Amino acid sequence: MLKIKFLLPLLIVISAAVWWLMPHYSDEDKGYYIAMFCTLTHDGRGNTPKDMQQIIEGSNSDYALQKIHFQAGLAEHLQTIWQDLSPEQQQQARQESLSCRRLLSEKLLPGQPVQ
C-alpha cells in the first residue's frame, strides 16, 4: 500500500514533466514553416533545416522588438515528413507550391484548410 501511495504521485509528476518538456508548436508556426519549406522547394533552392534557419534568422531586423527564433525540431520534423512522401508526390510538390502546402498540411495540420 505504501508503494502505491508513493508511486502514483511520482508517476503523475514524471508524466507532467515529460509533457511539459515536449516541444509544442502552434498552428501558426507550422503553417509558416510549411510555406517557407514549399517556397524553397518550388524555387529549386535547398530545403534543409540549415537553409530554413538562414532565412528565418536572416529576416529579423536589428531593431525588431520581437525576433523570430528558429525552431530546429519543427524544421527537422518537416524534413522527415518530406522524406516520407513518395517520389511522385515530391515531384508534384516541386512543380506546384499549392500541392506542396497541401501535402505537408495534411500531415502536419490535419483538418485545416490550405490557402
Q: Where are the domains of the chain?
A: 25-57+69-110
pLDDT digits (tens, 9 = 90+) for 53-112: 888 888 888 887 888 888 989 999 999 999 999 999 989 988 888 888 998 988 888 776
Q: How many CA atoms lie within 13 A of 99 on its CB side?
A: 12
Q: Residue 55: CB partners within 8 Å, gap ≥ 6?
A: 36, 40
Q: Mean per-residue pLDDT for 39-47?
A: 81
Which cell is 29 given?
A: 508556426
Q: Would you tell me how many other CB atoms lie within 10 Å of the CB of residue 29?
A: 13
Rounded distance, CA 110 to CA 29, Å?
14
Kindly report the pTM of this predicted structure.
0.75
Tell me the pLDDT band of 41, cut-offs 50, 70 and 90: confident
